[in-house]
């Protein structure tokens, strides 16, 4: 069975990185290693990770620093390039993996035809978490059916076969202007390389809905990254823009709900 490395880019994530690593430590199948790559954090991110390493010396957690350039892409690359696993799991610092995540990824990649995979998300700080998971899974499976050759990858919950990563790594966009979705860029280059990208409902991870706390202008800029990414690669298929409509459609209600929850929490104090 393939071994799995987990790579976690981090920038000022002291509030969430501990929970992320606790979920990794609770895996029913142990990953080959866990690589946290810190990118110029000014908070206590490194200290939290160092404490987790000290408390779990045999867990295979490594803390790297990427100080050459601010940004997710060089930080992601620094971890993915040195990972030793047959499969490279890529999650965010606010991701909380389900306990069987590594086991599920191992199962998926036991099929030698699979080069990459994503799965559904549970938003752990939104109400009706189980219902939200089912809706998220349904929408993602629908998007896979619409995607044709360009099945998406989702950076908070994805895994890539190391061989496939090394094949496309020289061709990935550097995106110095920071206007694209880096996970979609990986998926596009994998598709162009003839790699098979899958979606599996069993590969489940939790994440925060903190993105919808952004103001309307910033959230729209985030959503427009879909269009920028596909356009930059010369891909015109309108079906691939479906997530833009979904995100923009649910944003007002979720943004308002979270604002009310913060106000109520402040009153309770």
Tens-digit pLDDT string for the chain (269 aa): 899 999 999 999 999 999 999 999 999 999 999 999 999 999 999 999 999 999 999 999 999 999 999 999 999 999 999 999 999 999 999 999 999 999 999 999 999 999 999 999 999 988 778 888 998 999 899 989 888 889 999 999 999 999 999 999 999 999 999 999 999 999 999 999 999 999 999 999 999 988 999 999 999 999 999 999 999 999 999 889 888 998 999 899 989 988 888 888 777 77
Q: Which residues of 9-34 are buried (b: 16+ CB within 10 A; e: fewer)?
A: bbbebbebbbbbbebbbebebbbbbb
Three-class SS state of 158: strand
Contact present, 20 and 49 (Cβ < 8 Å): no
Instruction: Provide the whole-model pTM.
Output: 0.94
């Amino acid at each position: 069975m393939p071994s799995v490395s987990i790579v976690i880019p981090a920038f000022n994530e002291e509030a969430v990185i501990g929970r992320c690593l606790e979920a990794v430590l609770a895996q029913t199948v142990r990953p080959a290693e866990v690589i946290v790559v810190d990118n110029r954090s000014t908070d206590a991110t490194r200290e939290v990770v160092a404490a987790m390493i000290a408390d779990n010396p045999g867990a295979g957690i490594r803390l790297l620093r990427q100080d050459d350039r601010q940004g997710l892409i060089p930080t992601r690359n620094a971890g993915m390039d040195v990972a030793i696993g047959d499969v490279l799991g890529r999650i965010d610092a606010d991701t909380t993996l389900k306990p069987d995540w590594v086991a599920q990824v191992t199962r998926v990649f036991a099929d030698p035809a699979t080069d990459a995979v994503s799965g559904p998300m549970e938003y752990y700080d939104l109400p009706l978490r189980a219902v939200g998971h089912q809706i998220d899974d349904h929408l993602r499976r629908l998007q896979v059916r619409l995607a044709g050759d360009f099945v998406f990858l989702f950076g908070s919950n994805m895994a890539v076969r190391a061989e496939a990563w090394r094949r496309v790594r020289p061709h990935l966009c550097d995106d110095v202007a920071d206007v694209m979705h880096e996970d979609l860029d990986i998926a596009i280059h994998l598709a162009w390389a003839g790699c098979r990208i899958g979606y599996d409902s069993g590969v489940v991870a939790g994440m925060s809905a903190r993105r919808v706390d952004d103001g309307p202008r910033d959230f729209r800029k985030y959503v427009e990254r879909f269009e920028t990414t596909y356009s930059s690669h010369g891909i015109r298929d309108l079906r691939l823009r479906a997530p833009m409509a979904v995100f923009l459609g649910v944003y007002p209600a979720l943004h308002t709900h979270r604002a009310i929850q913060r106000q109520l929490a402040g009153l309770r104090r």
